[in-house]
Amino acid sequence: MIARLFLALLATTVALTVQAQTTTILGTKKPEAAAETAAAGEKKPVAAGTVAAVEDESPVITPFRPANLPAAKNTRTFQLGKLNKPAATETTKELQRLFSAYAQQSIVDGSPTGFSKATGYLATINYSILQDLGDKRYLVKAAWPAAGPNDALAAGVDTMAVLLLERAVKTGETGRCTGMHVGTVSLLFTASFAPLTGKRLTLRREAFVECTTLDDAPAGLPKFIDKILRGAEVSVTTNEVIPCKKCGGLGFTSEKIKGSLSEKHINCSVCDGAKSIVLPTETKIIP
């Protein structure tokens, strides 16, 4: 799957086979002279008696800002050997929940194991193709819902984005796919759509890679368990709702009133009266 090709945009460690194909995804390297060309098409003056270099008109896509992924603030373990035992938190229902989260955080690609960890938020993208950038990369007008805790990936409505698809499509075609957000890229290209036709532009746009998540089906859970029992290291990051420790789950703290036996209640500065907080937690699943 082509999805793995674009992952080198992120500031994460990737396989050497992915790195070797990064050049294909990002496009041809932009000459330094072209980098100084104005977005409106202004060209640098050429000194008398010299021959102007041929400007490279091919699209150039370069990383600008990686996806904003949250770091887990808490770590815990889920031991399969304790499953459904008295007083254990390891229940079948909790295992199913973790497996569903795992399926959404791992994507199908061409790696030796058949899948890899997703390195960006997944979203359902409705798109309309504006321009073919080559190598199945497209400038699209797209819409997607917000994703991630606190909407780390803001929703898009009629927003231009760069999308890497698994199949070639034609300009004007519409479609829908699951996309993994890989951050913001800088796109240098010559527009071929009205009213910007012929303009050499530099745009900063959200970038997505079309991908397929693992099959979250009942048949997949036994394979998931067998994989862990055979020694696979598996971890899942989820947002856990836990009681606020500062206020003890009350939503407020108490303060004594000077000269009085009574107290006044003040909204908890951590949970702001919600009695609980959301804590990004990494769960390691062990045999």
What CA–CA distance (Å, rounded) separates 100 from 108?
15
What is the rounded average pLDDT of the residues 257-276?
86
Amino acid 256: pLDDT: 84
Amino acid 116: pLDDT: 87
Cβ atoms of residues 159 and 143 within 8 Å: yes
What is the rounded average pLDDT of the residues 3-23?
33
What CA–CA distance (Å, rounded) separates 71 from 279?
10
Q: Which amino acid is at 209?
A: V
Amino acid 62: pLDDT: 95
Q: Between 92-105 and 220-229, two packed helices, what is the crossing angle to 10 degrees?
A: 90
Which tens digits make up the pLDDT trace of 243-257? 998 898 899 888 888
Torsion of CA 173, 175, 177, 182, to 10 degrees: 40
Q: Which amino acid is at 47?
A: A
Q: Which amino acid is at 31?
A: P
Q: Which of 190, 211, 127, 194 is nearest to 162 (CA)?
A: 127
What CA–CA distance (Å, rounded) separates 66 from 121?
11
pLDDT of residue 85 exceeding 90: yes
What is the rounded average pLDDT of the residues 110-139?
90
DSSP-derived pairing of the beta strands 156-164 and 200-210 = parallel
Amino acid 56: pLDDT: 67
Confidence class for position 45, pLDDT limits 50, 70, 90: very low
Confidence class for position 282, pLDDT limits 50, 70, 90: very high
pLDDT of residue 241 exceeding 70: yes
Confidence class for position 40, pLDDT limits 50, 70, 90: very low
Buried b (16+ CB within 10 A) or exposed e, 69-91: beebeeeeebeeeeeeeeeeebe
pLDDT of residue 203 exceeding 60: yes
Confidence class for position 35, pLDDT limits 50, 70, 90: very low
- % of the chain beyond a pLDDT of 90: 53
Cβ atoms of residues 104 and 122 within 8 Å: yes
What CA–CA distance (Å, rounded) separates 188 from 123?
25
Amino acid 136: pLDDT: 94
pLDDT of residue 42 exceeding 70: no
pLDDT of residue 142 exceeding 80: yes
Q: Which of 101, 95, 98 is nearest to 83 (CA)?
A: 95
pLDDT of residue 28 exceeding 90: no
What is the rounded average pLDDT of the residues 274-279?
90
How many C-beta neighbours within 10 Å does residue 4 have? 22
- % of the chain beyond a pLDDT of 70: 80
Which tens digits make up the pLDDT trace of 144-160? 999 887 778 999 999 99
Which tens digits make up the pLDDT trace of 54-82? 456 789 999 999 988 878 899 999 999 99
What CA–CA distance (Å, rounded) separates 76 from 48?
70
pLDDT of residue 92 exceeding 90: yes
How many C-beta neighbours within 10 Å does residue 225 have? 17
Cβ atoms of residues 272 and 229 within 8 Å: no
- Arithmetic mean of pLDDT over the chain: 81
Query: Considering the entire predicted model, what is its pTM?
Result: 0.69
